[in-house]
Amino acid sequence: MADGNLQVQGVGLVEIASALRVAKRSAERRANKEGWAFNEITGRGGKKRVYVTESLPAEVRAALVLASTRSVPGLQLHAAGTDDAWTDTRREAMWNRYGRAPQGHKDIAGRRLKALEAVATLVHSGRGLMDARKIVAEQLKAEGFRGGSIASLARWADDIEGAPADCRLPLLLPSYVGRSSTAEIPEDAWDIFKADYLRPSSPSATSCYERLGRIARERGWELPSLRTFERRIDTTLPRQIVVLAREGREALMRMFPAQIRDHGVFSALEAVNADGHRFDVFCKWPDGTIGRPVGVFWQCIGSGKMLARRIGQTENSDLVRLSFADMAKRYGLPGHAWMDNGRGFANKFLTGGTPTRYRFKVREDDPVGVLTALVGSENIHWATPYHGQAKPIERAFRDFADRVSKHPAFEGAYTGNRPDAKPENYGSRAVPIDEFLRVLDEEIVAHNARVGRKGGVCNGRSFDQVFNESYRDSAVPKATAEQLRTLLLCSDKVRSNSRDGSITLPGYGNRYWTDAVAPHAGQYLLVRFDPDDLHSQVSVYTLAGDFICDAPVTAAVGFADTQAGREHARARKQWQKAAQSQLDAERRMDAAKVAAQIPSPPPEELPQAAVVRGVFGRGEVRRPEPKPEALKRTGTDDANETSLGDFLKRVAQNRNAVTGFDPDNT
């Protein structure tokens, strides 16, 4: 019915049939048979009959009032009471009682008020009070309303006699409260039942009651029914206690309403969050390993856009730092970072110096991690362990589980998200990792570009649109070249080639060289590199940490590739020519000019003798001739030999004796 004022407006056939709870055709036949007055109006769908309310039978009018959802305006049920008798305190107490009442009691009170309004409507149209009550009571009985007799209508009218209109509903609440007495449970029996029921195993109340019955028979207890125990659990034990005892702390945490966070307070890249996700797809790596890939993803919290990803066989610190490097290189450095507390994120190499990591010991002398140095210890935040609601990126992972893992390109490689949810073709195929990465990147682009987003500040826009709009107006700090180099992997010290200074990474085989590393030939160096981009360049440092250069890769070519050979020869000639030019610039004087400037040594000056030997006698000094006996050789002459010729002769004889040489036989 369009309006509750039955005296002013007519009523349609559909409303009459609904109030009488009969079919529309039945109501129409009765109206034609009894000749109800009506007016024809033209509206949408053609002409329509509107029956005059005053011409309707009394029981029909009563049924219409009872079926109406609005009170009849201007209808006077009784004489209003004085304002002094209905103080604000009394009104508040009555409505507090109404608010605490069960919904079933509130529905009964509303139905009673409608019944009294129907009686007043019939009386207002000229019916007698008792006749009107009889008609309404019969209608209530036909509807199956409990207690709708003539006497009940009179009693309800007495209950609201003298009350203002806004106090009628609480005065018509049922006064009964139901059965309140329950059978007594022995205190010891109740303690045993609670100890058995409130366990993590979550036994049923029936099994607990049966075990308690065995104990009761031994101790002579009389137990009430199982329903009594269940009712006492519901009425005396708070639900959170039951959930904590039987389901654990995580289930208890889920009972507390999740906090609604406004992501719109962050601009683009002002806050990011990261987490790892293992895909339910079997992939095959180049070395033949088959397994489910793990990805580390970074997401902008303000817009929801997925910013960077790295994929590996396990979640580790390398994936975290390299994915962060991808984000920093493309977009810039974030202001705040919310991260998972897994070992890949919370290790000291990456986030050392950050408090409350929930993992490992936090010491004052911890080294400053790479991410801590770039973002700041006060701007790194850790998500609550085992609480997915603290990481908005988990919502994106739910999309990836459907749009990536179940992609048609991976049919036969999908593993299912649970051990008991494996598809029929489980394990029939393994996707090459390159194909997986291609599909993943395509789905990430589609994920960011999908319009119609309703969460956060999207309002029907895509994540890309929200991010780009904010990114244009945000002052995002850009990462420097050295900051990006610190995010690359660092190999152990590598010894450069002693001849040309080229560097070969152990385990990878690629060779890197530039003329800047040539002076360090044969030395041990440190190399920073990206394992997914080994065909571009690596960053070379000394062992002391001084940056040398970025060395490009020197790719191997085919043995018969003449074009590559010519290019290599041309590069070598240019390098040699440049070296010769540098040498000529440094060496501005030839060797002859240098030799001409070397001074000759001065003549030797002999010192004067300090002692002079005297010569006595006149004329020539004559030495005495030795006696023949003195020239005779003795057995001890070899030890004091003074003749050089004899000495050399003996040396030759000794040499011949050692070598076996006989000069007489030559």
Q: Which residue has the higher pLDDT, 533 or 622?
A: 533
Q: Which residue has the higher pLDDT, 354 or 562?
A: 354
Topology match between the domains 263-472 and 488-554: no
Most confident of 252-256, 347-351, 505-509: 252-256
User: What confidence score (pLDDT) does residue 192 get?
Assistant: 93
Q: How large is the greatest C-alpha to C-alpha distance in the chain, in angstroms?
A: 194
Q: Which residue has the higher pLDDT, 627 or 392?
A: 392
Q: What is the mean pLDDT of residues 587-593?
A: 61
Contacts for 457 with CB less than 8 Å, ≥ 6 apart: 263, 264, 302, 303, 466
User: What confidence score (pLDDT) does residue 3 get?
Assistant: 40
Q: How far, in Å, CA of 425 to CA of 439, rounded?
A: 21
Q: What is the mean pLDDT of residues 530-540?
A: 84
The residue among 80, 79, 48, 67 whose CA lies nearest residue 6 is 67
Q: How far, in Å, CA of 232 to CA of 415, rounded?
A: 46
User: What confidence score (pLDDT) does residue 216 get?
Assistant: 92
Backbone angles phi, psi at 583, to 5 degrees: -65, -45
Q: Which DSSP symbol is given to 580?
A: H
Q: What are the boundaries of each domain within the chain?
A: 11-171, 187-255, 263-472, 488-554
User: What confidence score (pLDDT) does residue 84 get?
Assistant: 61
User: What confidence score (pLDDT) does residue 263 get?
Assistant: 66
**CA angle at 371 for the pair 326 and 312, rounded to the nearest 5°:** 50
Q: Is residue 126 scored above 90 in pLDDT? A: no
Q: What is the mean pLDDT of residues 429-441?
A: 95
pLDDT band at 37 (very low <50, low <70, confident <90, very high): confident
Q: What is the mean pLDDT of residues 131-149?
A: 80
Lowest average pLDDT, out of 86-90, 194-198, 309-313, 416-420, goes to 86-90
Q: How far, in Å, CA of 55 to CA of 59, rounded?
A: 12
User: What confidence score (pLDDT) does residue 282 get?
Assistant: 95
Q: How far, in Å, CA of 57 to CA of 228, rounded?
A: 51
Quick count: other Cβ atoms within 10 Å of Cβ 410?
22
Contacts for 198 with CB less than 8 Å, ≥ 6 apart: 241, 242, 245, 246
User: What confidence score (pLDDT) does residue 313 get?
Assistant: 92
Q: Is residue 367 scored above 70 in pLDDT? A: no
Quick count: other Cβ atoms within 10 Å of Cβ 30?
16
User: What confidence score (pLDDT) does residue 214 get?
Assistant: 94
User: What confidence score (pLDDT) does residue 559 get?
Assistant: 41
User: What confidence score (pLDDT) does residue 407 get?
Assistant: 94
First CA to last CA across the chain, in angstroms?
150
Please state the pTM of the whole predicted model: 0.55
pLDDT band at 557 (very low <50, low <70, confident <90, very high): very low
User: SS3 for 457?
Assistant: coil
User: SS3 for 605?
Assistant: coil
pLDDT band at 558 (very low <50, low <70, confident <90, very high): very low
Q: How far, in Å, CA of 162 to CA of 169, rounded?
A: 13
Q: What is the pLDDT of residues 377-408, one digit of tens each?
A: 778 888 776 665 667 888 899 999 999 999 99
User: What confidence score (pLDDT) does residue 562 get?
Assistant: 42
Q: What is the mean pLDDT of residues 286-292?
A: 92
Q: What is the mean pLDDT of residues 273-280?
A: 93
Q: Which residue has the higher pLDDT, 507 or 107?
A: 107
The residue with tokens 């590996």 is: 312
Q: How far, in Å, CA of 350 to CA of 318, rounded?
A: 9
Q: Which CATH number fits domain 187-255: 1.10.10.60, 1.10.260.40, 1.10.3720.10, 3.40.920.10?
A: 1.10.10.60
User: What confidence score (pLDDT) does residue 193 get?
Assistant: 93
Q: What is the pLDDT of residues 207-248, one digit of tens each?
A: 999 999 999 999 999 999 999 999 999 988 899 999 999 999
Number of H helices, E strands in the chain: 24, 18
Residue ranges in 433-513 assigned as alpha helix (H): 433-449, 463-472, 481-486
Q: How far, in Å, CA of 405 to CA of 402, rounded?
A: 6
Report domain 263-472's class. Answer: alpha beta
Q: Which residue has the higher pLDDT, 58 or 522?
A: 522
The mean pLDDT value of the chain amounts to 79
Most confident of 252-256, 481-485, 548-552: 548-552
Q: Are 75 and 121 in contact (CB under 8 A)?
A: yes
Q: Report residue 556 as tokens.
A: 């191997």
Q: Is residue 617 scored above 50 in pLDDT? A: yes
Q: Report residue 176 as tokens.
A: 């009964």
pLDDT band at 8 (very low <50, low <70, confident <90, very high): very low
Q: How far, in Å, CA of 137 to CA of 178, rounded?
A: 25
Q: Is residue 106 scored above 70 in pLDDT? A: yes
Q: Report residue 341 as tokens.
A: 């507390």
- How far, rounded to the nearest angstrom, does the alpha carbon of residue 116 sit from its chain's CA centroid? 61
CATH fold of 488-554, please?
A: SH3 type barrels. (2.30.30)
Q: Are 232 and 193 in contact (CB under 8 A)?
A: no
Lowest average pLDDT, out of 254-258, 260-264, 390-394, 548-552, goes to 260-264
Contacts for 439 with CB less than 8 Å, ≥ 6 apart: 404, 407, 409, 410
Q: What is the mean pLDDT of residues 1-22?
A: 63
User: What confidence score (pLDDT) does residue 572 get?
Assistant: 61
Most confident of 96-100, 353-357, 448-452: 448-452
Lowest average pLDDT, out of 56-70, 354-368, 398-412, 480-494, goes to 354-368
